[in-house]
Structure 1
Amino acid sequence: MTRLRHLLAFGVTSFVFGLAAQAQEAPATPPAATAASSAALADFAAYVDATRQQFDVPGIAVAIVKDGRVVMEMGSGVRKLGDPAKVDAHTQFAIASNTKAFTAASLAILADEKKLDMNDRVVDRLPWFQMSDPYVTREMRIRDLLAHRSGLSLGAGDLLYWPATTYTTEEVVQRLRHVPLANSFRAEYAYDNILFAVAGLVIEKVSGLPYAEFVRQRIFTPLGMTESRINAPARIGPSDDVAIGHAKFDFKDLKPVEPMSWSNNEAAGGIYASVHDLAKWMNAQLAGGTYTDAAGKEQHLFSAARQNEMWSLLTPIHIPEPSVPELKATKPNFSGYGEGWFVSDYRGHKLVWHTGGWPGMVSRLTLVPDLKLGIVVLTNQETGAAFQAVTMRALDAYMDAPKTDWIAAYAAAVKKSQANADDSMKKHEAARAKGAKPSLPLDGYVGTYRDPWYGDVVVEKQGGKLTMRFAKTAQLTGTLDPWQHDTFIAHWNDRSLNGDAFVNFALDPDGKVREVRMEPVSPLTDFSFDFQDLRLAPVEASN
């Protein structure tokens, strides 16, 4: 989940990779598919490969289900640049925030068994749970944990677990009491991940099982999802069919990124899975929570009533204009979030969907309930344009829509996004007092600074330069380069993060640092870098 985003900033396409495609499709499109959809999907493998090449994605896997059957499972490209191993339908990718639907389903299972009620107060299940506002603490219900309407700001608290930190899940949730609220409770939508950590602890408390074990026993095993796991990097073997993520280092050079083990918020985004397994998950969802067991008997994962609740709009989402005219047709008539799912519409059909982002991997899973249609697209590069273009092509095929060049449409969106980022940096450069030097000698900025919810950030002097180190986050270590006056730019040593930040030291009347504030340099930086929420104050040296 790194980037734990629900909508992803498009990366710039600087060059095209010529990787050979390997497509594996089901032997035939089942009779349930219309002739129009069959014709529209005739060149689908070639289209996926063209999408992959246009947006510099080493590997893509896709599965489509219709009327309870698998229409297509395929892979295109490679698991890792420089390695000939191909992506296929069984290659496991990090599905990141698509995990949230599994967390919602886990709570639905427990609710069906009368072990909890979705309207239970969180404090009645976790008495030590605490938000920064007493009213919100008292009134927060289990359902609220899944709906992004808590009053927290976008991505609030994400730095507690991403990039990977040494905090435990319990420590993450305990620190929630210090994360400030930006809005009124249940007043508006703002995507968060931290409350899914709370939901995971509720599942553990009620079921008596670790979150990962509960999902394995109650969802993976019944559905036969043998190619799915949680916190996969800690368990990957050399012969495993697992994709490696790729990122544009400094927004330019595509390279593999190190796999991330992430155990302190598994319920928000910890699952790795193949499209082969996710086809089983989609069919169970589209069947109202039912599946057929090994003996051929119909079973219920969760009730249709619970599914209806998960797919009902709880939190409305403002609908902006598409970023480019080419995407006009994608603008929905309604948009919102239910319990672990986005809900919106396209061409008169309700969509139930989610996306996910992880270091070097992004994905989208889309359900169309009235068509009994499911589409999942997994990729090993950090651009949402690829999964959007593939998803839209498949949706159009089953809605008998005019064929649209979605590759070109999303390429236009990528180009505009990059142009906006370039303009933002030009404005910073224009406002910069280029001759302005730091007010203090570098030693004057050295020290340990503490934020109430994150903890300690250390500024040191090494080799005549300042460095910054987040005490609980190994990846957030880098150099502080002067920008102007008492503002520096933190250039992280790990250039795959694309999260460089302005660091401003505010001085008191005596010329000593009173507070440190931070904010991302680029608008393309993922929102999970919630630097702007930090309020860093000097820690007085002990006597």
Structure 2
Amino acid sequence: MAGALLAQGAQAQEGTLPSQLQDFDAYVENVRRQFDVPGIAVAVVKDGEVVLERGFGVREMGKPAKVDANTLFAIASNTKAFTAASLSILADEGKLSLDDRVIDHLPWFRMSDPYVTQEMRVRDLLAHRSGLGLGAGDLLYWPGTDYSTEEVARRLKDVPLTGSFRGQYAYDNILYGVAQLVIEKASGQSYAQFLQQRIFAPLGMRDTRFNSDSLRPRDNVATGHAKADFKDLQPAPRMSWSNVSGAGGLYSSVHDMSRWMRMQLAGGTFTDAKGTQQRLFSEERQQQMWSIITPITIPKPSVPELEAAKPNFLGYGEGWQLSDYRGNKLVWHTGGWPGMVSRVTLVPQRGLGVIVLTNAEVGGAFNAVTMRVLDAFLEAPRTDWTAAYAAALAKSKGKADEDWRKHVQARAANAPPSRPLATYAKTYRDPWYGDVVVEQGHDGLTVRFSRSPDLVGRMEPWQNDTFVVRWNERWLNADAFMTFALDADGEVREARMEAISPLTDFSFDFQDLRLKPVVEASGAAGS
């Protein structure tokens, strides 16, 4: 009954599915309930054919419109593979080489270290090994700013490096924005035009949009959902990464993404609308995209129930994660967006591809669905992946609760701010982000990030010169400590921030800010 009511837009015969997937509709519906996800869309391709393509649940909680195979979701960092493919197309045409220095294409490009600036290659933009810390610079576009793509890239010169160049893996987004600019310089087109003409149109991805700014009034599009204060599910405002679209801007459907997966599994080839076989990029380029550039330390499973999913190798190529499962190489990626998360998984030696798009911020859902499909086609023993990922989620929430209890226990009782509130009310400037304004009102202090409309919040005294920033937009789940350092005369010389909860998205890279009071009489915000 659940399948009859909830499966929308099925476009394949159920008889082609393995026996483990005969109850797939009920399985996905159980996943939705377990992880509190309003809507999920899934597509599976096998040996060049679409064997499952459908939606479950609703586009927005409390509204009747159903998710189907054509519903658009933000695919977030699954965009990175499109950026890598775009560079590969240009490399095949001789318009660039992945071994080119970035400054050969963007002479103004600068990192905070001159050596890294000189040696950074186009390939390095894709491999998360630049020396930047996890999510470094993300506040330049997350959760939305008014900087342009080039302005974000130019501010890299002031973003600190916390590791050695090519020395270790640390996931970043900002360098994919630089890669986008390289594509535009080499192609002579905007990145949106390039994607449309060179990838979307040839593959027949008719509904895929460059970012949320490109959505049309009648588009079949899902609304993202987040749990405000990690508790109450609510719709999240639609966001746009118009300034770092190469890292995560695309909206797509499982119907369109099934075309993308089929091309990938066919070694870069596809059949066009006239029935003629075409090639998007060379086999050599695909092998490079699917080869490990940056090794990643294999993490210990957070709960014993996930031991079977632990890989034997793990690394990052060009826009793709690379690992293995039950003796099969996996080429995959996930995407995280305000209110939406997703996963694309390819098993090349089995001709298998799985795409799961969701409109809530919980990775356990897309993982549980993906792993069920993989087990079915790999003829693996049936595992209760829903329970396994639920256990992992419960453990992470428990750790976050314990972390908060430790903060509360360490808090000094009766330790108010050491100075009048007016002392802290200043404009502060960070070298890479710009201005952050602390203002005093009748009910206390507020903080406002000058280039980020959603980052406005009240400041509650915590202890001494530390305050808790509680953002007005509660769905952000990014409350932070803000601590002021005073000089010998009791004047603020610096402010530092850090996210309170370990569950806060790493793109809120508050810890990298070095906020100094602006001393000149007048200064342009964000200068």
TM-score range, shorter chain: over 0.9
1:434 and 1:58 map into 2 onto residues whose CA distance is: 42
2:145 and 2:94 map into 1 onto residues whose CA distance is: 35
Choose the corresponding residue for 1:74, options 51, 54, 69. 54
Tell me, what secondary structure is at the counterpart of 1:387?
helix
Which structure's relative contact order is higher, taking Cα pairs within 8 Å and 6+ residues apart? 1
Tell me, what secondary structure is at the counterpart of 1:467?
strand
What is the 5 A alignment of 1:138-149?
138-149=118-129
Structure 1 counterpart of 2:388, which letter? A
Residue pair 1:234, 1:261 contacting (<8 A) in 2 also: no
Tell me how far 1:197 sits from its aligned partner: 0.5
Tell me how far 1:26 sits from its aligned partner: 3.4
Say whether residues 1:449 and 2:428 are aligned partners: yes
Structure 1 counterpart of 2:23, which letter? D
Tell me how far 1:82 sits from its aligned partner: 1.3
Tell me how far 1:359 sits from its aligned partner: 1.1
Say whether residues 1:280 and 2:259 are aligned partners: yes
1:344 and 1:144 map into 2 onto residues whose CA distance is: 20
Partner of 1:14: none
Tell me how far 1:233 sits from its aligned partner: 4.1
1:89 and 1:49 map into 2 onto residues whose CA distance is: 16
1:167 and 1:196 map into 2 onto residues whose CA distance is: 16
Partner of 1:5: none
Say whether residues 1:197 and 2:182 are aligned partners: no
Tell me, what secondary structure is at the counterpart of 2:494?
strand
Partner of 1:225: 205
Partner of 2:503: 524
Choose the corresponding residue for 2:146, options 166, 172, 176. 166
Tell me, what secondary structure is at the counterpart of 1:389?
helix
Structure 1 counterpart of 2:462, which letter? W
1:502 and 1:460 map into 2 onto residues whose CA distance is: 16
Tell me, what secondary structure is at the counterpart of 1:228?
coil
Say whether residues 1:211 and 2:191 are aligned partners: yes
Tell me how far 1:27 sits from its aligned partner: 3.8
Deviating above 6 A after TM superposition, structure 1's stretches of 4 or more consecutive aligned residues are none
2:443 and 2:243 map into 1 onto residues whose CA distance is: 36
Partner of 1:12: none
Residue pair 2:74, 2:250 contacting (<8 A) in 1 also: yes
1:186 and 1:490 map into 2 onto residues whose CA distance is: 35
What is the 5 A alignment of 1:142-541?
142-237=122-217, 239-541=218-520
TM-score in terms of structure 1 length: 0.94
Residue pair 1:20, 1:77 contacting (<8 A) in 2 also: no
1:27 and 1:305 map into 2 onto residues whose CA distance is: 32
Residue pair 2:14, 2:22 contacting (<8 A) in 1 also: no
Residue pair 1:64, 1:374 contacting (<8 A) in 2 also: yes
Partner of 1:15: none
Partner of 1:47: 27
2:91 and 2:481 map into 1 onto residues whose CA distance is: 46
Cα displacement string for residues 347-390 of structure 1 (whole angstroms, at most 9, x for unaligned residues): 00000000001110000000000001000000000000000000
Cα displacement string for residues 69-114 of structure 1 (whole angstroms, at most 9, x for unaligned residues): 0010010000001110000000000000000000000000000001
Say whether residues 1:109 and 2:53 are aligned partners: no
Residue pair 2:12, 2:53 contacting (<8 A) in 1 also: no
Tell me how far 1:320 sits from its aligned partner: 1.3
1:440 and 1:202 map into 2 onto residues whose CA distance is: 49
Partner of 1:22: 7
Gaps of 5+ in 1: 1-18
Residue pair 1:233, 1:259 contacting (<8 A) in 2 also: no
Residue pair 2:38, 2:57 contacting (<8 A) in 1 also: yes
2:489 and 2:111 map into 1 onto residues whose CA distance is: 36
Tell me how far 1:24 sits from its aligned partner: 4.0
Tell me, what secondary structure is at the counterpart of 2:255?
helix
2:138 and 2:216 map into 1 onto residues whose CA distance is: 25
1:235 and 1:42 map into 2 onto residues whose CA distance is: 35
Cα displacement string for residues 145-194 of structure 1 (whole angstroms, at most 9, x for unaligned residues): 00000000000000000111010001000000000000100000000000
Say whether residues 1:56 and 2:36 are aligned partners: yes
Cα displacement string for residues 388-441 of structure 1 (whole angstroms, at most 9, x for unaligned residues): 000000000011001111111011011101000000000000100021010000
1:398 and 1:520 map into 2 onto residues whose CA distance is: 41
Cα displacement string for residues 251-306 of structure 1 (whole angstroms, at most 9, x for unaligned residues): 11101011112210010001000000000000000000000011111100001110
1:160 and 1:189 map into 2 onto residues whose CA distance is: 21
Percent identity of paired positions between Structure 1 and Structure 2: 65
Partner of 1:11: none
2:14 and 2:45 map into 1 onto residues whose CA distance is: 10
Residue pair 1:351, 1:366 contacting (<8 A) in 2 also: yes
Tell me how far 1:234 sits from its aligned partner: 4.7
Over the aligned positions, Cα root-mean-square deviation in angstroms equals 1.2
1:384 and 1:116 map into 2 onto residues whose CA distance is: 36
2:229 and 2:213 map into 1 onto residues whose CA distance is: 24
